[in-house]
Amino acid sequence: MKNLFNESTIVSRSERYAVGVKVFQGRFLPERRIGRGGMGKAVWLAVAAAACVVLGGEKGQAKPEAELERKEVLSPEEAVRRYRKAAEQGDAKAQYNLGVRYAKGEGVDKDFREAVRWFRKAAEQGDADAQISLGVCYAKGEGVDKDPKEAGHWFRKAAEQGDALAQYNLGMYYAHGEDTDKDPKEAVRWFRKAAEQGYAKAQFSLGVRYADGEGVDKDPKEAVRWFRKAAEQGIVDAQYNLGLIYSNGEGVGKDLREAARWYRKAAEQGDADAQSWLDQYNSKGG
């Protein structure tokens, strides 16, 4: 059996606080998962250039988008007008929010170059969400030439402020960057920082490292611990991995009932491999 896993890509923030806006989720990139065939060279990708609107509250800042939309019904064009006015006066949150509007094409024509311009202004003032967004733009090549090193530069700035998403993205940068930038131990360091803050995808990635012995000594028990944390937050591949680990007794005692419990959770999220295992288990009277 090959020791293979799936792992998530670099992700951007979603507009968590925008009223009536569907939350954008980073998609999974198949990479390594127990019991699955290989997929060739791992790919390091970004999935979007837009980022979330962060709640402000400090005196002198522009009102956050959710607050604006709750207290008064604004057209997208009016919201952009207000953000622009504050942004031109140097308000970092307004600059960031204006960048989001350009990235999404809400109230203005979609324009990633303009989005990058405003993200950069906010990022240079130390706004972590803008730094993440700018990093994602460089990672994907949206509005700027693709530049992994520059992406890593901006992810690091946000990560050093303690942002878990930036820490996760920086871990992905070191895990899957160009050969000169690859650093498994540094990847583990940043995954751990994010994982310890409860970031589920980082917990899964840290479990992958312990399962493979990549950047850290191989430790099946520690892999189980981190997979469990991610699985309890609903990461389907972590649930699948726990199912397989319990069915094979790797790092834990073999326990088919516990395996079935985790496979069932994964199957309920649409995982076909987990459902296939359950079908066989049930056919044998499990």
Q: Identify the pLDDT of residue 284.
A: 84
141-163: pLDDT as tens digits: 999 999 999 999 999 999 999 99
SS3 139: helix
CA–CA gap between residue 186 and residue 250 (Å, rounded): 26
- Of 11-25, 89-103, 132-146, minimum mean pLDDT range: 11-25
Q: CATH classification of 219-286, choosing from 3.40.640.10, 3.30.450.40, 2.40.50.140, 1.25.40.10? A: 1.25.40.10
The fold of 3-190 is: 1.25.40
168-182: pLDDT as tens digits: 999 999 998 876 689
Q: Identify the pLDDT of residue 60.
A: 35
Residues of the chain with CATH 1.25.40.10: 3-190, 219-286
Tokens 């890593």 map to which residue?
Answer: 152
Confidence of residue 2 (pLDDT cuts 50, 70, 90): very low
Q: Which of 116, 98, 118 is nearest to 108 (CA)?
A: 98
Q: Identify the pLDDT of residue 71.
A: 60
Q: Which carries the bigger pLDDT value, residue 24 or residue 163? A: 163
Asked whether residue 23 carries a pLDDT value surpassing 70, the answer given is no
Q: What angle do CA 207, 280, 243 make, to 5 degrees?
A: 15
196-233: pLDDT as tens digits: 999 999 999 999 999 999 999 999 999 999 999 999 99
- At position 55, the amino acid (one-letter code) is L
255-268: pLDDT as tens digits: 999 999 999 999 99
